[in-house]
Amino acid sequence: MSGSRGELPPLVDYLVVPAVNLTLAFLVSGLVVLAIGENPLAAVRIMLSGALGYAEGVGYTLYYTTNFIFTGLAVAVAFHAGLFNIGAEGQATMAGLGVAIVCLAFDGAPWWLVLPFAVAAAALFGAGWAFLPGWAQARRGSHIVITTIMFNFIAATVMVYLLVNVIGKPGAMNPETRTFAEATRLPPIRDMLLPLGFDVGTSPLNPSFFLAVLAALLVWLLVWHSRLGYEMRVFGFNPTAAVYAGIDPARVVMVAMMISGALAGLLAVNEVMGVQNRLLLEFVGGAGFVGIAVALMGRAHPLGIVLAAFLFGVLYQGGAELSFERPKISRDMVVVIQGLVILFAGALEHLARPPLVRLFRRTRRTAEA
């Protein structure tokens, strides 16, 4: 995540470059929509009104945003240590097992009593699943990208076995646990907002949103205001210099991966305890992979990640409304649009940077002349 960084003013680097990439993604998406005979401007209007035009749509948007904040933070923490954690999907999957075990064990207890244990279980299971790839890289030199990808498949396989043979609901057609008691489920936020005059309808938004915002604040403190965060950034920027400065590379790699896995695991609190109220297969729904684009677009900074996660929340909720309003724009087409945003925010992240760098160099020379 470096490239020619440092040659642009921070405001341009953190705001203008992502805005240009996003504009390019929407322009290409508009051409795709135009190619199937639909009006791109009308499609944008439907997406925005579906995501932000009414209270229930906003609730759904923030619900998606919650998931993406967790996975974006997970990827970002690994980035700062020079690691590319592609395993957030598997780490969140295993964390769902931890949340389900806690909720089933405390079934019937009030949610506010169960929540701290569920959060701890999610973080522990996620961190535990990330520890093994971290250990393999730190002690055996395995490539973190390959091992985390493999662990995504292993997590899915383990979950199938457990739901079918061990903790699944007897007699159920689908591999899933029994539903938690109503008192143990996270309450929807509408119950808290209605007395204040706000109604977000039947959206699944729940207190996990506040947990995600708190996680972003804690990551900011960790990365920029702690010794461990400093060691992670030094190691990520220059591993050789980090070793020369006395930083233990193996410790940094393993700790960073465990923190990353713990953050990814917190997604399970939102999904398993807050929305599904039981453990299902594939409840993560690809949010682990979207977290990579969120972290890239947010420049691995918690504030940027919150904003990027909100953007992807708008895309997900607005995309669902768009496919409903315009049958010619199918759900697959919406995925294509989301993929283009990910492409320009991720793989082509530096496409607009060189021209902007040249522009600012020319402007600086003109001002100095």
pLDDT band at 12; cut points 50, 70, 90: confident
pLDDT at 175 over 50: yes
Backbone dihedral angles phi then psi of residue 247, each to the nearest 5 degrees = -85, 130
Q: How far is CA 21 from CA 233, 333, 346, in A?
A: 26, 20, 9
Q: If residue 196 lies in a helix (H) or strand (E), which one and from where to where?
A: none
Q: Which is more confident, 347 or 143?
A: 143
Mean pLDDT of 11-29: 80
Block residue for tokens 């008192």: 183
| Per-residue model confidence (pLDDT) at position 141 | 83
Contact 262, 75 (CB under 8 A): no
**The pLDDT value given to residue 9:** 73
Residue 151 has a pLDDT of: 94
Query: Quick one: pLDDT at residue 255?
Result: 95
**Per-residue model confidence (pLDDT) at position 19:** 81
The one-letter amino acid code at 180 reads F
> Is 298 a residue whose pLDDT tops 70?
yes
| pLDDT recorded at residue 2 | 42
What value does the mean pLDDT of the chain take? 87
Listed range (121-125, 157-161, 262-266, 355-359) with the worst mean pLDDT: 355-359
Q: Three-class SS of residue 107?
A: coil
How many degrees, rounded to 5, is the angle at CA 347 between CA 82 and CA 292?
A: 55
pLDDT at 35 over 70: yes
What is the distance between the alpha carbons of residues 101 and 119, in angstroms, rounded to a whole number? Answer: 12
Range with the largest mean pLDDT of 6-15, 111-120, 310-319: 111-120
Q: What is the arithmetic mean of pLDDT over 330-357? A: 74
Q: What is the pLDDT of residue 74?
A: 96
pLDDT given for residue 222 in this prediction: 95
Tokens of 39: 């009006």
The answer to whether 308 and 19 have CB atoms below 8 angstroms apart is no
User: Higher pLDDT residue, 269 or 199?
Assistant: 269
pLDDT tens, position by position, 109-124: 999 999 999 999 999 9
Interval 341-360 mean pLDDT: 73
| % residues pLDDT > 70 (the chain) | 96
In this predicted model, what pLDDT tens digit does every residue of 203-262 receive, in sequence order? 889 999 999 999 999 999 999 999 999 999 999 988 899 888 889 999 999 999 999 999
Burial 180-200, CB ≥16 within 10 A → b, else e: bbeebbbebbbeeeeeeeeeb
Give me 94's structure tokens. 């295993």
Query: 108 and 184 in contact (C-beta within 8 Å)?
Result: yes
Least confident interval from 35-49, 57-71, 114-128, 191-205 = 191-205
Question: Distance between CA 234 and CA 225 in Å, rounded?
Answer: 13
Give the position of tokens 């973080």: 123
HSE value, Cβ hemisphere, 13 Å, CA-based, for 49: 9
DSSP state of 14: I
Query: According to the model, what pLDDT value does residue 64 have?
Result: 94
